Structure 1
């Protein structure tokens, strides 16, 4: 066990690329100890070595968060190495890559990775946080969890937000904080085919680091997307606009 009580221990999922990789870099630069989890072992271990060649402050644990046994092994590895988990950042997420969700047999995996794993990992780390009277759960949702855009993905992200807001109330006065970070379009592997102008994942990484320093209920980034969430309050406006987008995509296929 190499835990230093002056150093915050962060368990970060989906760490091998995109928002997760940017967050790992941001938190490592701030001095946090990191447990990095993702499926792509080569990328994950290479990132951990770049951030901490000694492999004492940053460790890589290959993990498919949709696998219950892998989740348990991940938490056990973090505790064996550092002794405790101060922060859980549930960032791992998948999408279907376009097309009708009901025509894609992989749609249940979106719910397993994006929602079930968030709840399951939270359940694994919460007892230790509650026993110490401190901790922080940060769940990465999406603007698609504020504005319904695609059946399976939006269902999972609406679920993440609902779970997070309920959990925050369930843990009121416990010393354990719960925050949601909801990104709009940012430049990652999931958005590689989009032609929209968008910032890099660093904007989300900074938002995650920000809520750890100053806990907040929910942060939407980039800020422009806060306006998109308001459109959902006026279905007569949002329904035709979003439906038109789907029709245009179907015509291009």
Structure 2
């Protein structure tokens, strides 16, 4: 079982989560996706944040060693796998077969799921599935929203190769990095049927390299999977 944040996620008096809660969470995410070495503790004004970051990093590294590392696909420090386009190495991001019984029949071109971690994709899912929710700790908020609505999982179609980001930020965590995405749904079949060739998708001459973000409730953790077309991950911009 993944270790849990020992600090309260919800602050008292409407002040939001504590620096310790944020620090532990960020340390955990950084470490559970860092198989090579523990992440450096950031230098910030809050000693509570730094101390909690170190605790979270220790927990994330222990979970990574015990249960497998998780790939940070979206984000400025996303791991891009090797240079051949074959995708991340199993030691970094273990793959598993897609369960064809989830949300309808799985398409043949989504055979594998790569384990990932990070807030960007979950914030998009949260905005679409439970608009108005607090975007702090999106995994926790999504877990609660799925429980409230009786949903076992969510899927989001994405283009796994980014284009240039928009000139003006839109507030969409994926679109602002240049990633096209579709609409969140609890049906694998419906998500797989949506692609960038639709009327709202940007035109491009490049291969689509479509994938699906799959979220399955994971408690407080920002865990999700990416289902790449053909089980392959394309190289990203470096």
TM-score norm. by structure 2 comes to: 0.31
- Calculate the TM-score normalised by the size of structure 1: 0.29
Greater fraction helix: 1
